[in-house]
Structures are given as structure tokens and as C-alpha cells.
Chains A and B, each alone.
Chain A
Amino acid sequence: MGAVEEEEEQVRFKGNTLAARIWVLIGNGQFVEAEALIAEGTAAGLLSKPQATRMLEKISQLNTRLGDIPASVQRAPDFPSQLKDYTLFEIDQMLQRQDFSIAAKAQLMMAKKLIKEFPRLLAK
């Protein structure tokens, strides 16, 4: 019994470290590497299915273009349509670098918020 518990503890510890590494990759936009580790980690039993799903969902959210959100959400006054072809990750990068050559800071912030707002509005 004790040995089993210890082993589970070990797995959880390794799993958490792996999860932290994957989240860093996701945050850096290294999606291919992250997806490879998610697949490996799941196969090796180091990541749970729900954990892997949450990670893949966030990768897909970061790859969402402003123009992908439904028309109803795009009706917002001052909708920054020049950002339609940019993904959430790219918009975030512009904010991080303080690169306001394509859109003003407020427009970038609004675009980011709108991409995140749409899935929140869907019925759970």
C-alpha cells in the first residue's frame, strides 16, 4: 500500500513538472514542441486526459484569429478590423513588445479581450 502511494506521488510530481514545462512552451508560442510533449506525456501516463485537453484548448485559443470570432461579437463599436488576420498569440506579442505599428494599445487590448470573450459566452 505504502509503495503504491509513493509511486503515485512520484508520478504526480513528474507530471506536474512536465505540465509546467509545457505551459512555458505554450506561453512562448512553441506550439509544435508543446503538442509533441502533450502527446508523449499522455501516452506515458504523466499527463491526465483532462489536463491534455485543457492545454490543447489553450493552444487553439492562442491560434484563433480576431476574424474567426462570430460576426455578432465583431459588431462592437471601435472593432479593430485591421487586426482580423492576426492570432491571439500575435496580438499578445505586439502588446508585449509595445509594437503599436498596426494598432493602438487600446485596440490590441480590445482584440485580445474579444477573442477571449467569445468562448466564455458559450453555454457551458
Chain B
Amino acid sequence: MAVSFPFSAIVGQDEMKRAILVAAVDPAVGGVLVFGDRGTGKSTAVRALAALLPKMRAVAGCPYGCDPQPGTPSCAECAPRKAQGEPKSVLKPVPVVDLPLGATEDRVVGALDLERALSQGIKAFEPGLLARANRGFLYIDEVNLLEDHLVDLLIDVAASGENMVEREGLSVRHPARFVLVGSGNPEEGELRPQLLDRFGLAVDVHTPTELPLRIEVVKRRDAFERDPDAFIAHWHKEDEKIRRRIVAAKKRLPDVVVPDAVLERAAQLCMALGTDGLRGELALMRAARALAAYEGDTSVNDSHMKRIAAPALRHRLRRNPLDDAGSGTRVERALEDVFAA
């Protein structure tokens, strides 16, 4: 795999970076969708995430990377092992798996291992991308161009956290809990609403308009392309700082409290925007809590809420095609109203 651009070296794009970090701190936030114009560094930021994630503990030899802790979802082989006490485990990197366009269904869900079947006549399951992404991130670039039959698969698995394979005489089920990360250009097509719904946060990115920022973007990118190793070494310390903050935030997360006043604000905001059901409030709550944890706070305050409201709610608004303002602007407006009151 080619080296990726360091996360800390990305210029501007604060909303996108914040959303990605929030998802890294608390996977329960449920995925990030990055939509924006071409050439705004969408995929750069997502690919940079892999280098930031702290390692995780997984059952040794398990192809699904099951969590050795009791009471966590496990595959057919790990379940009995876990019943007999904590199995042997290893530290491994949190997977960030790319689902490339042109992938076939058999590689996404897993299929019969052709090699072993042909040479030894053994019917064995060869896990696919969903298995590899378990407990990690599944990244789909150009998510709005993904083939429909793959979107169907994803929608189902992302909701149930489990992949069921019934093909070629195989019957396999394994845990597939992953944070879905997608990026795309809205000009190339809309996203299916069901898939949109699977993303906890949605970010709109634009090219920075201030000239000094733009110059900095080009300078850093150029430096990276000319000598990637030196550039990464230069930014390593910054990346390391972010990684430590993520680790600390994950530890702190269960203790972060959400005061009632903040909860009330969230409810007011969602009501003002007319988001469907309670999903919006829950997503906003979780995201604000993860942000508070990342920033070292022990309780959620208005500032956290304000900064994460747009990504948490923008894709849950009812569409009003005759309103020319983007959904982000509508959230901003509602924020002003609610917080002014």
C-alpha cells in the first residue's frame, strides 16, 4: 500500500477532520460521509486516518479479528474458545479497508476458497472485505457510484452488524461491525436514502477560498509528492499527538456526562429542523460526547454541540428542493435561533 498523506498536515477542512476524529473516538457514532467538489482532498483525509488509529487487541489467528473480551460479538470459532476463558490475543492495527469500485460480490461478502476447492476438494470459506473490516473502518471512495447490488449488501450488513453468506453450498455467519466511511462528488449522482441513513455524520467540503491557505495546500502536497518519507517523518510528531489524544479520549468517553440543559437544546434544535424521529438527537448526542472526550472535557457543553450539529444533522433534514440554501446553512440558521433563545 502506498504511503498516505499525514492527517496533521491537511490544511483547513476543520469540519471534515473533526468528524473523522469523532468517528475514530467513538465508532458508535456510525460512520462519516464526505461529500464535496473534486480536488478538495476528501480521500486524502480518509486514507490518512489509518495511520492515526491506535492498535486493538484481537483473538490470535481469527480472520475476523474478534475481540477477546467476553460478551463481545464473536465468530463461530471464537465463541466456544471464549466460553473456555480468555483466548490468546495479539495486538494488531485497526483495519481500514478499501472497497474499490469494480469489486465483485464474492470478494465483498466472502466466498468458497477456489484454490483449496480445486486442488484439495475442500469446501472452505474465504472471508471477504466485510470480514476484514470487522471492528475497523470500511472506506468507499465514490460511494455514489457503487453498483446497486453491492449497496444492497452494505445496507443490510451495516444495520445488522453481521454478515450472512449463503452461497455455493456454504452457510457462514460472522460479525461485521464496521464504521462506514464514504466520499463522493454530489454532481455525479445522489446517494440512496437508505445508505445515507447509515452514516452518522455527513460533511460538505469545499476548497479553501483564502489564498494563503490554498498556497499552503499546494506547497505541502508538492513537498509530499517529492519526498514522501521525509514529509511523513516531519509530521510524525503531530500525528503522534493526535493518536495519543484519540487513545485518551476513548478512555475518557464512558465518563463524559451530558447535562440535561444540553439535552434539551439538542431536542429543541432537532424540533426546529424537523428531523425524522429520534435518530438525529441520538447522533448529535453521541457525536458531541465524543468531541468533548477528544477535547479533554468531562461534560458536554454548548460549544461542542454547535460545532458538531451541522455534520450530525445535515443529511437528516427533510428535503425542500425549492429552498436554495444548502442543508448546512439551514442547520446554522436553526442553531442561531435555538442558542439565541
Say if A and B assemble together: no
